[in-house]
């Protein structure tokens, strides 16, 4: 245990501070959950020294392996570690509240007044292909890191064909992939 962690444990972090830190991260981090992770890391590990870096990286692995938004899963783990159930709950609220309020304001108060405006239509005309391009780029980037093995490439190809041609529900495609993983990656696959 290093000094910073000892210090953190000697002086309990207040629940309100946990809430505020995640509220700030939630309100000011653009670009989705993955963009939030380095900001959370800077705030929690580097600046406030609440958690050691190695432990934080373990938390990220768990966050990406469990259901739900990655940033939310990371925040809950940090809160849990610092102040148990209450800390985890407040960290979650901190991440969720800014998202909810900003989107609610746009959906309820802003868009209804402007959705028939020609400029807003033009904006979305350009935003739609941009979003498709970003999702396509995510496929390529994920593919580079995940499809590192002949078996995972074959699995992706078979499931792609199944999803495309047989229109199998995404949930079953995911479960089929997981079960295939249990069988395919049994021996030490690198």
Cα 35–Cα 55–Cα 80 angle in degrees, nearest 5: 80
Residue 41 found at the interface with another protein (CB under 8 A): no
Find the part of the chain contacting another protein (CB under 8 A) among 9-17, 40-48, 49-57, 157-165.
157-165
Residue 30 found at the interface with another protein (CB under 8 A): yes
Virtual torsion, Cα 29, 31, 36, 39, nearest 10 deg: -60
Which of 7, 20, 102, 166 is the binder for another protein (CB under 8 A)? 102
Radius of gyration in angstroms for the set of CA atoms belonging to the chain, rounded to a whole number: 21
Which of 6, 46, 64, 117 is the binder for another protein (CB under 8 A)? 64
Which of 100, 114, 117, 166 is the binder for another protein (CB under 8 A)? 100
Residue 114 found at the interface with another protein (CB under 8 A): no
Whole-angstrom distance, CA of residue 188 vs CA of residue 111? 53
Per the listing, tokens 């809950």 go with 76
Find the part of the chain contacting another protein (CB under 8 A) among 1-9, 10-18, 46-54, 167-175.
167-175
Within 13 A of 102's CA, how many CA atoms are on the CB side?
Answer: 11
């Amino acid at each position: 245990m290093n000094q910073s962690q000892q210090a953190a444990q000697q002086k309990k972090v207040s629940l309100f501070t946990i809430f505020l830190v995640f509220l700030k991260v939630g309100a000011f981090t653009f670009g989705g959950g993955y963009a939030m992770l380095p900001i959370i890391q800077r705030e929690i590990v580097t600046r406030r020294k609440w958690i050691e870096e190695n432990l934080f990286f373990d938390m990220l692995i768990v966050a990406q392996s469990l259901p739900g938004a990655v940033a939310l899963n990371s925040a809950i783990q940090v809160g849990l570690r610092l102040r148990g159930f209450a800390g985890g709950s407040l960290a979650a609220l901190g991440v969720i509240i800014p998202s909810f309020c900003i989107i609610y304001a746009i959906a309820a108060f802003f868009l209804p007044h402007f959705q028939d405006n020609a400029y807003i239509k033009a904006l979305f005309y350009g935003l739609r292909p941009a979003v498709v391009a970003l999702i396509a780029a995510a496929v390529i980037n994920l593919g580079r890191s995940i499809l590192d093995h002949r078996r995972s490439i074959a699995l992706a190809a078979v499931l792609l064909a199944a999803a495309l041609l047989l229109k199998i529900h995404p949930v079953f495609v995911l479960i089929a992939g997981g079960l295939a993983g249990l069988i395919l990656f049994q021996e030490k696959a690198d």
